[in-house]
Amino acid sequence: MNLKIIILYTIISFCWGITWLFLKINVTHMPILWGLSFRFIIAGTIFWLIYFLQKNRVKLTSQTRSIYIVYTLFNYTLCYYLTYWGAQYIYSNLGSILYSLSPITIAIMAHFFIPDDKLNRKKILSMLIGFIGTILLLYNGNSFGGEKAFIGISAILLAIIIGCWPTIYIKKQGVKVDSIHLNAVGLSISGLIILIMAILFENGSILEINPTNLFSLLFLAIPGTVVTWGIYIWLLNHLPASQLSYVAFFPPIIAIISGWIFLNEALSLISLLGASLIIFGGFLINYDLKKIN
């Protein structure tokens, strides 16, 4: 990897890792639906600006429309809402660690829905390692945020399953979509859906706007959504998928350090071991020595 790619790797890893810190701040000080809708509307607006500045224009077909609907409803609306809802009950670093199970979750789904992407010994070993890591991580589950920590953990795990399905659906359809346009449409529609939900269900909530809330919201919308996805798309066009997948394994380390420094979120040795196994399991399922060399 050249210096430019290393710098981009560093930026995306830092942004995704530190995002969990600001997500925790946001759900603690702002109503969940309002905060999430504002984040998506801001990010969606920026993606629309990027889309109109580029020359490519997208012509939607019935197949791509179905992809957009699945991506919008499952990935953004349901997955992100459950993530926000669960994040209020657990440590910020725990959410990032649990999301390292995403590659394993995708591998399991692909086995049943993608004919040429079946499980093998390496993938099964990765799942076992991730499963053991999850058990160790949850051994002292209540210490991750209080008596409702298991509720938050369950919500995050459900969010991961729901969020991984659109990836499988797109692969199953075998259709390439414009990522900028997909994110612009998905974020905007989901933002409006969640905004309506906020008006209906959080209308009596106190919406306090202060420098801390505003900064966390802008960080989530711009570095945490637009910058990370922008870099990810660029890397996707310049790196093999197996090499790009490693970007998922560094944010938990950033999240653990930032949560410990700024929020006093300390993990026990057993929890750290479990976290390490989860991250390693996700790494192993994507690792291919032949492709790397």
Q: What is the pLDDT of residues 233-291, one digit of tens each?
A: 677 666 654 455 566 677 888 888 898 899 888 777 887 888 888 888 777 766 664 54
pLDDT, tens only, 59-100: 888 888 998 999 899 999 999 999 999 999 998 888 888 888
Instruction: Write down the pLDDT at residue 115.
Output: 81
Domain hosting residue 82, numbered range = 3-292
Contact between residue 251 and residue 231 where contact means Cβ atoms under 8 Å apart? no
Q: Which pLDDT band, with edges at 50, 70 and 90, does 46 fall under?
A: very high
3-state secondary structure of 260: helix
- Please, how many CA atoms are within 13 Å of residue 104, restricted to the half-sphere of its CB? 27
pTM of the model: 0.86
Q: How far apart are CA 14 and CA 20, in angstroms?
A: 11
Q: How many domains does the chain have?
A: 1
Structure tokens at 72: 């919008």
DSSP letters for 111-173: HHH-TT----HHHHHHHHHHHHHHHHHTTTGGGGTSTTHHHHHHHHHHHHHHHHHHHHHHHHH
Tally of residues, the chain: 293
- Residue 97 vs residues 101, 152, 200, 218: alpha-carbon distances, Å: 8, 13, 33, 23
pLDDT tens for 171-201 read 788 777 888 898 999 999 999 999 999 999 9
CB 271 within 8 A of CB 139: yes
Query: Is the four-CA dihedral 218, 221, 224, 229 of positive or negative sign?
Result: negative
Amino acid 140: pLDDT: 62
d(CA 217, CA 215): 5
